[in-house]
């Protein structure tokens, strides 16, 4: 006769039932596990689960294609990702789908199609702040002046996007200026120029609120793919966060004092022409002799310079806006050659001169 430990058998049965219950069976089970794996950055597992959900013809297939597409993108499979987002769009005209496919198309260099997708995103959802920011980036890469209007609209709708969008835009502007061959205006002479480091202002900082911090890095084009679809300006399915965004609190006491170094730039220019200059767009180049990264800080200064008059252009880069490695500084200044380039002149009569900036 065999004797069995009844409590142990019950425990084993319960464990087996629980394990079986955890195994996905239906399409919805696979899609939910796919989302869980996505959030844990188990991208291959997420791709497999979303594929199974699609094969089983589950509900809300548009989101299965969407999430699988983003997982494929993060695995470096760009063309497959675009194909999946296109399938999602055929099932649902969702502004998020258009915006993110636009970002991926921009990374492929297809700026025309990217712009069309981002246009469609803001057409469907006029308060989609991130889509305006991304469209501004694409327009900037296309050389369109309308980029600044998109940035302004983006920041009006969501001020928290301003730091990342501005940083991306500045990086693109710098790369464009560095690659271009610039003409010299006939009616302006650059007399002298310089830059200095100065201690930044001491700031009294109020307690910082909790702000969303994206875990998705900037792409080579400066665009971020995905955000929180539950944000107030980005409609999306409930309880789905494709980014896996985290909420980061930066605690500061109200008397916190922040110090840094501001970079102040000055260029003295003389108007040798016959028309009054009302604004100057100029760039301060710092180009290394050694194999380091080159820098070009771009400024626009509104000013009144009459014929035969000379005035100083002044601007600055705050200490917390550099954010790049090997930034020119007092200790390594000798490694860089400096020059100033005039990019555009606006005259008081409404006319303007602009460097062709051929690349």
- Quick check: helix, strand or coil at residue 5? coil
Task: Domain of residue 340: give its range.
Answer: 182-200+260-354
Q: How far apart are CA 329 and CA 322, in angstroms?
A: 11
Residue 219 phi/psi, 5-degree rounding, is -80, 180
pLDDT score of 173: 83
Nearest to 66 by CA among 80, 53, 84, 51: 84
The CATH number given to whatever domain includes residue 301 is 2.60.40
Task: Provide the 8-state DSSP code for 261.
Answer: E
The verdict on residue 55 lying in a domain is no
pLDDT score of 138: 95
Nearest to 340 by CA among 240, 254, 258, 268: 268
The verdict on residue 13 lying in a domain is no
pLDDT score of 358: 55
**pLDDT tens string for the chain (359 positions)?**
343 343 433 333 333 333 344 687 888 899 899 999 999 999 999 999 999 999 998 888 999 999 999 999 999 999 999 999 999 999 999 999 999 999 999 999 999 999 999 999 999 999 999 999 999 999 999 888 899 999 999 999 999 999 889 888 888 888 888 877 788 898 999 999 999 888 765 444 443 333 222 333 334 444 444 433 333 333 333 333 333 322 222 333 444 444 567 889 999 999 999 999 999 999 998 888 776 678 888 899 999 999 999 999 999 887 655 555 667 888 888 888 898 999 999 999 999 998 876 54
Structurally, how many domains does the chain consist of? 1
The verdict on residue 265 lying in a domain is yes
The verdict on residue 78 lying in a domain is no
The verdict on residue 282 lying in a domain is yes
pTM for the full predicted model: 0.63
The verdict on residue 250 lying in a domain is no
- Whether the CB-CB separation of 94 and 60 falls below 8 Å is answered with no
- In the chain, the N- to C-terminal Cα span, in Å, equals 90
pLDDT score of 320: 55
The verdict on residue 330 lying in a domain is yes
pLDDT score of 217: 37
The verdict on residue 209 lying in a domain is no
Across the strands, what pairs with 307? none
pLDDT score of 321: 55
């Amino acid at each position: 006769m065999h004797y069995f430990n009844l409590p142990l058998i019950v425990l084993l049965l319960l464990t087996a039932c629980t394990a079986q219950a955890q195994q996905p069976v239906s399409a919805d089970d696979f899609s939910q596990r796919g989302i869980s794996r996505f959030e844990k950055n188990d991208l291959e597992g997420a791709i497999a689960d979303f594929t199974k959900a699609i094969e089983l013809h589950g509900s809300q297939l548009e989101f299965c294609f969407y999430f699988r597409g983003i997982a494929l993108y993060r695995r470096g499979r760009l063309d497959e990702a675009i194909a999946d987002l296109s399938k999602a769009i055929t099932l649902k005209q969702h502004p998020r789908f258009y915006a993110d496919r636009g970002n991926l198309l921009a990374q492929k260099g297809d700026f025309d199609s990217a712009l069309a997708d981002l246009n469609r995103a803001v057409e469907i959802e006029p308060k989609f702040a991130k889509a305006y920011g991304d469209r501004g980036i694409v327009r900037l890469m296309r050389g369109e002046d309308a980029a600044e209007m998109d940035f302004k609209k983006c920041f009006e709708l969501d001020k928290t996007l301003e730091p990342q969008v501005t940083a991306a835009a500045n990086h693109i502007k710098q790369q464009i200026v560095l690659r271009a061959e610039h003409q010299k205006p006939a009616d302006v002479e650059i007399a002298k120029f310089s830059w200095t480091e100065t201690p930044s202002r001491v700031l009294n900082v109020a307690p910082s609120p909790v702000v969303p911090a994206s875990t998705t890095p900037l792409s080579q084009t400066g665009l971020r793919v995905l955000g929180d679809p539950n944000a107030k300006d980005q409609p999306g399915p409930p309880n789905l966060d494709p980014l896996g965004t985290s909420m980061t609190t930066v605690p500061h006491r109200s008397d916190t004092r922040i110090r840094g170094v501001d970079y102040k730039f000055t260029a003295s220019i003389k108007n040798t022409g016959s028309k009054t200059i009302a604004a100057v767009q100029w760039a301060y180049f710092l180009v290394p002799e050694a194999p380091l990264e080159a820098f070009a800080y771009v400024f626009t200064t509104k000013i009144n310079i009459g014929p035969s008059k000379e005035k100083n252009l002044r601007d600055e880069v705050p200490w917390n806006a550099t954010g790049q490695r090997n930034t020119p500084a007092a200790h390594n200044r000798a490694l860089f050659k400096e020059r100033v380039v005039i990019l555009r002149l606006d005259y008081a009569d409404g006319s303007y001169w602009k460097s062709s900036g051929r690349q």
